[in-house]
Amino acid sequence: EAYEVINLMKVTGLRPCLLTYNSIINGLCKNGHYSRARQLLVELAESGLAPDTASYNTLLAECCRTGNLQEAESVFKEMLCRAIIPDLVSYSSLIGLFSRTGRLDCSLAYYEDMKSKGLTPDNVVYTILIGGFCRNGSMKEAMKMRDEMLEQGLHMDVVTYNTILNGLCKEKMLHEADELFNEMVERGVNPDFYTFTTLTNGCCKCGNMDKALTLFEGMLLRNLKPDVVTYNSLIDGFCKVGDMEKAFNLRDEMISVSISPNYITYSILINGFCNKGCVSDALRLWDEMIDLGIKPTIVTCNSIIKGYCRSGDASRADKFLNNMRSQRIFPDSVTSNTLLDGFIREGNMDKALDLVNEMGNQGLSPDVITYNTILDGFCKFGRMKEANMLYRKMVERGINPDKSTYTSLINGHVSLDNLKEAFRFHDEMLQRGFVPDDKF
């Protein structure tokens, strides 16, 4: 409607001003009509008015929101061609866009260009660049940028601290994260929900559950309410260290404070019980999530398949495929490879071979892991005829053998004193650029 107002103004002999154009360009962008906004900018210039920095900043902001790198560069170049001087907002949009899309080199180039034009970076620009380094795992560079920020007399706010803490936790640099957290508190910057969630998750990933619980309690003391993500991090941490009792108690606790477990919660717990060999407990949780209307994912199903196979019950794992299909969840390559390994562990090589042959009927293509798993099984059981057949089949299908393939074949032939065949595969292995272990 606002766009039509301009046309109406023109018909009645009124001339829209720059502010009117800019307001409508902004509205069009916010409502997802970028192409019309771009066209309006052309009409603005044709009307005799000169677009200003605000006109282009609106377009740059929309390019940034949609991740359109090419268009953002085009808009910026057009801006320069019209001798319109970019400001801090212009550069911030470009630096942010390229940083988030992994083009940190371009972000730094715009950062240097900005400084060469006499513009002083602010907290936003520094935090964006720090975030880019953190996403790349370049914590040393992130800290250098942080030092430069402080040297410019700028102060880190909670967003900057959280950005660095997240990077440190992802790199498992918990000691450095702890020191930065203490610095944050000492400087009077109040940690928020994201601060505690980041640190708690970092500790859980590293198995430091005592520290994770301390942070969780600190979160509660500050009247910051944990959410399902916070609880899932703690539950996952306890599952990984094998403490299923605490993990399950946390599930009950979250329900008691009116936080509903989601499919991730159940997947984590099911995987934890399966890793402990407690498949019956995992299946009770499976039934519970189905009753609650929570749809399992293929990851959840693969955990149960793995649990059965690790417990030496591949036949039940095979039967569980029917449960999956009843939920319209179909096996993937991980399902098949896990089940395959289960049959081989039990010495059921014929069933394993049937499974590989069936994969094609299910729309799955056996990969190098599939072939290596079954090929190694036949080699260990001395069935080299089948092993050689599988080797030929994988090569015919364009699947390149790797070092594991050749190691299994060589060891299998050596165990049967087939030294001629062993050396043939040894030579072929060298020709493909693999270095044998020479343990056979």
CATH 1.10.238 corresponds to the domain 192-261: no
Integer Cα distance of 197 and 206 in angstroms: 14
Q: Which helix (H) or strand (E) holds 426?
A: helix 419-431
Task: Give me the long-range contacts of 59-63 (CB less than 8 A, separation at least 24).
Answer: 59/25, 59/29, 59/34, 60/90, 60/93, 60/94, 61/29, 61/89, 61/93, 62/29, 62/34, 62/37, 63/34, 63/93, 63/97
pLDDT average, residue stretch 224-250: 96
**Pair 38, 59: CB distance under 8 Å:** yes
Q: Give 438's pLDDT tier (boundaries 50, 70, 90).
A: low
CB within 8 Å of 196: residues ≥ 6 apart: 215, 216, 218, 219, 222, 224, 230
Q: Is 220 a residue whose pLDDT tops 80? A: yes
pLDDT tens-digit series, residues 19-52? 888 888 898 898 888 998 999 888 888 888 889 9
Integer Cα distance of 83 and 240 in angstroms: 59
pLDDT tens-digit series, residues 44-76? 888 888 899 999 999 999 999 999 999 999 999
CATH 3.90.1150.10 corresponds to the domain 86-190: no
- Position of tokens 């560069």? 73
**Pair 131, 96: CB distance under 8 Å:** no
pLDDT tens-digit series, residues 253-271? 999 999 999 999 999 999 9
**Pair 130, 163: CB distance under 8 Å:** yes
Chain centroid to CA 166: 14
Read off the pTM: 0.80
pLDDT at position 357: 87
